[in-house]
Amino acid sequence: MSVRPIIRFPDPALRRACLPVEAFDTELRALADDLYDTMRAAPGVGITAAHIGVALRLVVLDLAEIGGRRSYANPEILWFSAETMEHTEGSVSMPGATETVTRPRAVDIRYRDLDGVVHEERLEGFPAICMQHEIDQLDGEFWLQRLSKLKRDRLIRKWEKSGR
């Protein structure tokens, strides 16, 4: 287990779609452990393999609402609620930059655990927001793309001025 370097915005790797996890082995477990350590050091509550330059569909979340640390391989959204909610989002790849994003309040997801077992579950509220944010990243859609052009441009200028 180790803390790995996080790719920073505007690295083009953050705009690439990730490949499905196919091997559910000790290497995948080690990657999930590294992601968890890296996320905690950032600090953050969610991270993808893409954030550390590994183009695999792997998400690690650490939220009390879901019982703490969980790993999701190949997560996909099966259903979105019509009801939405606003939440302040940011990224471990763009520390200190946040903005309000509107997303569906609940989602049904399908994913595999680290043993390759398929699961389906409903996430609501903050966990649903986090999972949508991370799945966007796996699809090569950095969270800024969810903002209006005006908000996105303003946030990027602020980020660049901060010298991060």
Residues involved in catalysis: 134
- Integer Rg of the chain from CA: 15
User: Any idea which residue has 């966990």 for tokens?
Assistant: 127
